[in-house]
A and B are shown apart, each in its own frame.
Chain A
């Protein structure tokens, strides 16, 4: 725990921590600005996306969607950087447990991601107000009615997904023992899985003879349980209610929330276990 705290405070002073957060916030700000302008030109009904509590889903798409990709890169940078700089050698030579080092690092990462998610969500709410103002939409109290519950639900369901995806990037960087390779491979895996799932969805559509609206939705299919994909079923348990969902929502049932949460938990756990096992067995030559 001492090491986890020290690593957490160390991460505060790391440039990548701020770069990742700023990239997310800038992109989110640009999209909200565009959405505000667009809603203003289309009309007041388009500004409904800014109304709370539905707006939390829109913010969540950024924080947990784009944020996940950035979290994968950040986690890989955090874990891989240690190997690039050779820090594990220093800590292990002091008698620190190898698995303990991995756990401390993962805990520190989780803490930093939690802070990042809260900050990004908070700024997202401000952006939502700004975009609504641009669109000329009146917004009520964001925590009135179900607002607070929805906000809490978004954060509580979204954070484990971001963390799970980040831990996969973390594990990749540790196995590759490199910051750059970890970041690149982590992002490639994330994007690659997205492409694979898109292809599989397309195959599913063709196999149904393009009958998108008729008939029962099938599934869930095996590819919906893939590590970076299963979290989508946690983030958007009812895809029809969200904005920007793909065609899969029309033809495929989501993975049940409980199953998806268990899968997210297991993937996170396996990522940490693989990292710890790898470090336990590693010959530290650099």
Chain B
């Protein structure tokens, strides 16, 4: 594993931040680390780059056990933790020179190279205090890439980026994984992670709730919503249980949402559900399939009540 943690515990005073976090980031993949604010994402990343020390648990970095004392392991790790930080009175290029003089040796040609990667070459001579948030973010990514790391740890890297910057970041990260690098990216921009990540880990209240390949997670926790006539609900429930055995199913039999069933099922099989109902002579008045990461995220982290009424019936 490029990164692994087992039973990682971190408290700030009495305030728990991580309560036994287990995560596994395979090499050569983009790992999307998701969680609501205060869930422990940044604390985890800080622990991984030696800024904090855990109270309990173990970490592995780039295939070997890791503690904060193994600082030279970080020579192979590039990171951007929280907001990008720089000397405001220095230019972007000079900041990279200072950063490049810490840790692993960095040839000056590499500075120009990473400035090109993030599209900052033209403004590299301006002082950082004149940069927009998006430019600082790009400089932060450039700083993370300075040592040509095997593992890139990025905390909310898309913050402040304009759409063009986000596309460029996405392409850069994709290109890096094609080179065999591993990217661990934390974000609250679910659509970004959905487009980037191969593996997703969802954390809340200091614990990992779900982890796995994005497609599999969505498939396993996707939801199909189907609306039938209220008087046909008992028969429809039997058919749905047959089509999707052992899956969560509930129906709404009164109120304005009466007739809607919610079944936790692979959204790609919505047509199969509809056909099964039709073959039994039950014609659905509406079929919806929710298979996005956002739904999964909100269900797991309690952002919405699982199986809350759908936004509205569709014909």
Contacts and interface: CB of A to CB of B under 8 A. Distances in A.
A and B assemble together:
yes
B166 interface: no
Contacts of A6: 97-98, 100-101
A280 to B, nearest CB: 10
A94 B90 contact: no
A97 interface: yes
B104 interface: yes
A193 interface: no
B262 to A, nearest CB: 42
Contact of A94 (B52, B83, B97, B99): B99
Interface residues of A, number: 26
Contacts of A13: 89-90, 94
B102 interface: yes
Contacts of A85: 85-88
A4 B12 CA distance: 33
B52 A285 contact: yes
Contacts of B235: none
Given A85-B85, A87-B86, A3 B98 contact: yes
Contacts of A5: 101
- Give the interface centre of B46, B86, B98 by most chain A CB atoms within 10 Å: B98
Nearest to A101: B102
A95 interface: yes
Given A2-B101, A3-B101, A93-B49, A10 B81 contact: no
A7 interface: yes
B66 to A, nearest CB: 12
A86 interface: yes
Given A10-B98, A14-B89, A284-B51, A94 B81 contact: no
Given A94-B103, A95-B74, A7 B51 contact: no
A105 to B, nearest CB: 11
A87 B103 contact: no
B75 A94 contact: yes
- Give the interface centre of A3, A10, A90, A283 by most chain B CB atoms within 10 Å: A90
A95 B71 contact: yes
Contacts of A96: 71, 102-103
A95 B103 contact: yes
A95 B77 CA distance: 9
B72 interface: yes
A55 B275 CA distance: 103
B74 A87 contact: no
Interface string B28-56: 00000000000000000010011111000
Nearest to A5: B101
A84 to B, nearest CB: 10
Contact of A10 (B72, B87, B100): B87
Interface in A7-57: 7, 9-10, 13-15
Nearest to A94: B103
B6 interface: no
Contacts of B51: 89, 92-93, 283-285
Contacts of A2: 101-102, 105
B72 A91 contact: no
Contacts of A91: 99, 102-103
- Give the interface centre of A5, A6, A101 by most chain B CB atoms within 10 Å: A6
Contacts of A93: 49-51, 74, 77, 79, 81
Contacts of B100: 6
B143 interface: yes
11 contacts: A5-B101, A9-B94, A10-B94, A93-B77, A93-B79, A94-B102, A95-B71, A95-B72, A96-B71, A285-B51, A285-B52
Give 8 closest A-B pairs by Cβ, nearest first. A94-B103, A95-B74, A86-B85, A96-B102, A6-B101, A93-B49, A284-B51, A91-B102
Given A87-B87, A94-B146, A95-B77, 20 more contacts: A3-B101, A3-B102, A6-B97, A6-B100, A86-B85, A87-B85, A87-B86, A89-B51, A89-B82, A90-B86, A91-B103, A92-B51, A92-B71, A93-B81, A94-B104, A95-B72, A283-B51, A283-B52, A284-B52, A285-B46
